[in-house]
Structure 1
Amino acid sequence: MAVRYRPARSETSGDWIELVALPENRVAMAVGSVVGCGPRARAWIGRLRGAVRNLASTGLPPDELLSRLDHLATRWGHGPDAWQGFFRGATCLYAIYDPVSRRCAVSLAGHRPPAVISPHGRVEFPDVPAGPPLGLGGGSFTTAEWEVPEGSQLVLCGHGLIQRRGRGANAGSALLRRVLSRAVARKGVVGPEETCAAVFEALRPVRPGGAVALMVARTRGLRPDQIADWDVSSEPAAVADLRAAVTRQLAHWGLDDLAFTTELILSELVNNAIRYTTGPIHLRLLCDHALTCEVFDSSTAIPHLHQASTMDEGGRGLFLVARLAERWGTRCTQAGKVIWTEQPLPQTPAAGMDARPVATTGHPSQGSRAGHYDPCPV
């Protein structure tokens, strides 16, 4: 990915961008614009970026995240600090890319949709329903989701970059399409850095004003040999076969050192799913920068970590998982939820790199550290 950011050179606020590495190898991207003047209006950028980072860590889908962001912005605008006198509106585009499914989910709050450059150089603007700007209260937001071919580029612009004075954002979007198409026609499909430089050079305002932000991200997907998954039987006796299959898979990934802890983790998570849920259960392992273990089930009940007392006979499962994994969490899905854990890979260059999925009797395989990137200062 590549970014361009020019800070405000006047008393007006402007654009902001954010990139957050999520669990399960997913990535969240956000871009927004704040309209207002004075230090307090510019401080809104810091508030919005901080809220996006915190809400993104909960795994919320884009429409729910924008709903909560709108609620926060409404409270800030009508709170006791009376910031509404300095703030005239805010927009946001929030997107999540999943490298396993190669799908991108986007929701808009008064913002323009991203531009997508296909691996073959075609420029498109996906049809994403636009919600109201942030801070109005009671806004309804919709998530649009589509498959993004590997090697595509997502171009996220703030309003300060594409807003053409006296002509509106539509003229700016049309100009962005022409700039991208011209760059592809002249140089062919280039990398994010070249795309970012061409767009910023062509569209940045000549007169200094509010902050201007641009992000270009090129998608990649996990290889099939980095993914292994199994449908789990609802019979507790099947867990032993599942542990054996996972052990063989880890051996092919060169991760024998993680076999013992991974067996304990999946035993706790799968047994809990069998005991407390009904419907299908699915286990998936992802081997990339970390070893991710995911257990999918059809229940929407979110488990909580309890501190079991000395005499309790149960209640230590998630406590054990939390101690064995580097981190763990839950995320709601359309069919229920997923509980995930992450374990750091051993410090061996070949770990997980030449993996091949293992076919197992009764459990067919289809066979795959989050950080925060802070591209622009507040």
Structure 2
Amino acid sequence: MSTDEGAAAHQEALWGAPAETEGAAAAVIDADGTVAGWTRGAGRLLGYAAEEVLGRPFADLLAPTGAARPRHRRGHRLEVGLRISRLAARDGAPRWLASFDPRPDARRRLASERLALLSEASTRIGTTLDVMQTGQELADFAVPRLADYVTVDLAESVSLGAEPLVRLGMDAGRVPAFRRAGVASIHEGIPESLWDRGQPVFVPPASPFTQVLTSGKSFIEPMLRKSLGTWLRCDPERTRVIRTTDMHTVMMVPIQARGVVLGIAVFVRTDNPAPFEQDDLVLAEELVDRAALSLDNAHRYTREHIAALALQRNLLPSRLSGGPALEVGSRYLPADLDHGVGGDWYDVMALPRDRVALVVGDVVGHGIQAAAAMGRLRTALRTLADMDLPPVELLTRLDRTVGRLAQEDADSPGATFAGVGATCLYVVYDPAERIIDIAGAGHLPPVVVSPDGEATVTRIPSGVPIGLGLGHFESVRIEIPDGSLIALYTDGLVEFPTEDIESGIRRLAAALARPGLPLEELCDRAVAARRTPSLSDDATLLLARTGPSGAP
């Protein structure tokens, strides 16, 4: 039976029924006990489309318990009242009207189930500070609980950490770029989606999509119109997929927080014949609101992460030079998004008499404050290095400087200096004597690799971190031959939750025990030797190879 024929059959079957029947959950039963009419309300309640029940025995729709209890298409019994009344006879044949009435306790249970669903959503959506992951979590949660197919598309600015949309203007000449952050379907391979996660998404102009983005209000179309006279005429590819996958009902909900639009979530049903209704839209909006809060937090965190990373990269040296005495190389790996940029820094400074100073440090904390504190510490240390102070005296003065800066900031409302508690390792190499002079402030010891490939973790007095006012520092002088490798690093390179830090240092030393390799390749080996690709803290490595003109 075609759609038009089915609609005509409904109207004919409902002849003699009360005028309000078509909007209620009801069925017309013929004299032989088969279903002759079926309203949309009955379809929403029991899950059957009209063509699935017309002509079937009405008893097939009841639970096999002997009681007059309707059952849902999926098999579970519904707590619904059933009232059957006689209609006016037609052609002498009796007919009955079966009215389904959701009971108050069923309504309460439905409300309770939805509250439980929203409570579960709060633990399943927004588990990370990654906007793309949060978008996928929303899609995964809604399928199949609410829809058969869900997409979450975010404005390009959101995924990049830039300013989100305030809202599309009514006279907007073009639609901003969107990117697919989440997609889920009950069908394997997600045949409904034209775009994979991470890909740019086409948003058709003069469509429900732009209507939602312009108004900031949700859109629902219980019976999706698929004719060429609709907005689909501007989007033939989407039209093709809608028809081939039997999409028949749709909701679109704007993702917005603090008055700005972050994206749009689309809910579709294909296999489930029940059209979306207002209660479904309310539930979808509740889910999206919860996701929007997490997305907004993740977006703001992403922006801060990008700003802190840009600040740190601008404060770190863009080019390192060890002069004629040292060949130098480095790696800096920022912490992942969930943990934020830290305060690692490194530097190489020329000193009188062809000597070279190497430094690696680590500021406590993450974010913009840690990056800014790192910049101040690096500037202070460079100033002290220009005075050509011995390593112990330099760390002593740096400790006092940091303490003074912290006190000055403490006297300024709202200002804090994150440099207190920073660690630092300062090494001076004298090529004339082939000696390195090492002093540390709570930092990990350097690794020295001899020209024949023997790697040694150089034990030094660890000292106390900078800025605590407890500074008593000591230095160690070590003679090393030409062609030796000196490695300074931070704990992010060697510290892992699954093992002690000594094991990580030994793994680093083993990776560097290749004297014939170029420094860039050694840096790559050191990074590859880490136990996990994820970074909960910044990781820094500074390598220096001794020898005339930096050659072994």
- Under a length normalisation based on structure 1, what TM-score does the superposition of the two structures give? 0.53
User: Any idea what the Cα deviations from partners look like across 1:260-306, whole Å, max 9, x if unmatched?
Assistant: xxxxxxxxxxxxxxxxxxxxxxxxxxxxxxxxxxxxxxxxxxxxxxx
Deviation at 1:152, TM superposition (A): 0.4
For the residue of structure 2 that corresponds to 1:17, the secondary structure is strand
User: Please, which of 368, 378, 384 is the counterpart of residue 55 of structure 1?
Assistant: 384
Partner of 1:192: 519
User: Any idea what the Cα deviations from partners look like across 1:286-337, whole Å, max 9, x if unmatched?
Assistant: xxxxxxxxxxxxxxxxxxxxxxxxxxxxxxxxxxxxxxxxxxxxxxxxxxxx
Query: Is 1:180 aligned with 2:512?
Result: yes
- Number of aligned residue pairs: 218
Provide the identity percentage.
39
User: Any idea what the Cα deviations from partners look like across 1:24-76, whole Å, max 9, x if unmatched?
Assistant: 10100000111213322221110111111111111101111111111112222
User: Any idea what the Cα deviations from partners look like across 1:237-274, whole Å, max 9, x if unmatched?
Assistant: xxxxxxxxxxxxxxxxxxxxxxxxxxxxxxxxxxxxxx
Partner of 1:156: 488
Query: Is 1:43 aligned with 2:43?
Result: no
Measured in 2, the distance between the counterparts of 1:150 and 1:174 equals 23
For the residue of structure 2 that corresponds to 1:37, the secondary structure is coil
Query: Is 1:100 aligned with 2:423?
Result: no
Amino acid at match of 2:404: R
Partner of 1:211: 538
User: Any idea what the Cα deviations from partners look like across 1:207-243, whole Å, max 9, x if unmatched?
Assistant: 2444321111101258xxxxxxxxxxxxxxxxxxxxx
Indicate if the aligned counterparts of 1:13 and 1:41 stay in contact, CA closer than 8 A.
Answer: yes
For the residue of structure 2 that corresponds to 1:203, the secondary structure is coil
Q: Which has the higher contact order (CA 8 A, sep 6+)?
A: 1
Partner of 1:91: 423
Amino acid at match of 1:180: L
Partner of 1:290: none
Deviation at 1:13, TM superposition (A): 1.5
Partner of 2:475: 143
Indicate if the aligned counterparts of 1:15 and 1:212 stay in contact, CA closer than 8 A.
Answer: yes
**CA separation of 1:133/1:86 partners in 2, compared to 1, >3 Å: closer, same or farther?**
closer
Rg comparison, structure with higher value: 2
For the residue of structure 1 that corresponds to 2:469, the secondary structure is coil
Measured in 2, the distance between the counterparts of 1:203 and 1:145 equals 30
Indicate if the aligned counterparts of 1:6 and 1:213 stay in contact, CA closer than 8 A.
Answer: yes
Measured in 1, the distance between the counterparts of 2:506 and 2:380 equals 31
Indicate if the aligned counterparts of 2:437 and 2:475 stay in contact, CA closer than 8 A.
Answer: yes
Measured in 2, the distance between the counterparts of 1:6 and 1:138 equals 31
**CA separation of 1:34/1:117 partners in 2, compared to 1, >3 Å: closer, same or farther?**
same
Measured in 2, the distance between the counterparts of 1:86 and 1:46 equals 11
Following superposition, which runs of at least 4 residues in structure 1 exceed 6 angstroms of deviation? Answer: none
For the residue of structure 2 that corresponds to 1:4, the secondary structure is strand
Indicate if the aligned counterparts of 1:30 and 1:93 stay in contact, CA closer than 8 A.
Answer: yes
Deviation at 1:9, TM superposition (A): 4.6
Measured in 2, the distance between the counterparts of 1:72 and 1:205 equals 37
Indicate if the aligned counterparts of 1:15 and 1:159 stay in contact, CA closer than 8 A.
Answer: no
Indicate if the aligned counterparts of 1:15 and 1:210 stay in contact, CA closer than 8 A.
Answer: no
Indicate if the aligned counterparts of 1:4 and 1:215 stay in contact, CA closer than 8 A.
Answer: yes
Amino acid at match of 1:190: L
Query: Is 1:20 aligned with 2:349?
Result: yes
Indicate if the aligned counterparts of 1:100 and 1:221 stay in contact, CA closer than 8 A.
Answer: no
For the residue of structure 1 that corresponds to 2:349, the secondary structure is strand
For the residue of structure 1 that corresponds to 2:497, the secondary structure is coil
Deviation at 1:83, TM superposition (A): 5.3
User: Any idea what the Cα deviations from partners look like across 1:331-358, whole Å, max 9, x if unmatched?
Assistant: xxxxxxxxxxxxxxxxxxxxxxxxxxxx
**CA separation of 1:41/1:125 partners in 2, compared to 1, >3 Å: closer, same or farther?**
same
For the residue of structure 2 that corresponds to 1:89, the secondary structure is coil
Measured in 2, the distance between the counterparts of 1:18 and 1:86 equals 19
For the residue of structure 1 that corresponds to 2:371, the secondary structure is helix
Q: CA RMSD in A?
A: 2.4
Indicate if the aligned counterparts of 1:14 and 1:212 stay in contact, CA closer than 8 A.
Answer: no
For the residue of structure 1 that corresponds to 2:347, the secondary structure is strand
Partner of 2:454: 122
- Under a length normalisation based on structure 2, what TM-score does the superposition of the two structures give? 0.37
Measured in 1, the distance between the counterparts of 2:533 and 2:505 equals 18
Indicate if the aligned counterparts of 2:450 and 2:485 stay in contact, CA closer than 8 A.
Answer: yes
**CA separation of 1:138/1:127 partners in 2, compared to 1, >3 Å: closer, same or farther?**
same
Measured in 1, the distance between the counterparts of 2:394 and 2:417 equals 26
Indicate if the aligned counterparts of 2:336 and 2:534 stay in contact, CA closer than 8 A.
Answer: no
Measured in 1, the distance between the counterparts of 2:406 and 2:531 equals 29
Deviation at 1:168, TM superposition (A): 4.6
Query: Is 1:67 aligned with 2:399?
Result: no
Indicate if the aligned counterparts of 2:420 and 2:468 stay in contact, CA closer than 8 A.
Answer: no
**CA separation of 1:86/1:65 partners in 2, compared to 1, >3 Å: closer, same or farther?**
closer
Indicate if the aligned counterparts of 2:402 and 2:466 stay in contact, CA closer than 8 A.
Answer: yes
Indicate if the aligned counterparts of 2:355 and 2:428 stay in contact, CA closer than 8 A.
Answer: yes
Superposed counterparts of 1:1-378, under 5 Å: 1-10=328-337, 11-79=340-408, 80-81=411-412, 84=416, 89-165=421-497, 167-181=499-513, 184=514, 189-203=516-530, 206-221=533-548
Deviation at 1:14, TM superposition (A): 3.3
Amino acid at match of 2:356: V
Amino acid at match of 2:392: D
Runs (5+) with no aligned partner, structure 1: 223-378
Indicate if the aligned counterparts of 2:460 and 2:475 stay in contact, CA closer than 8 A.
Answer: yes
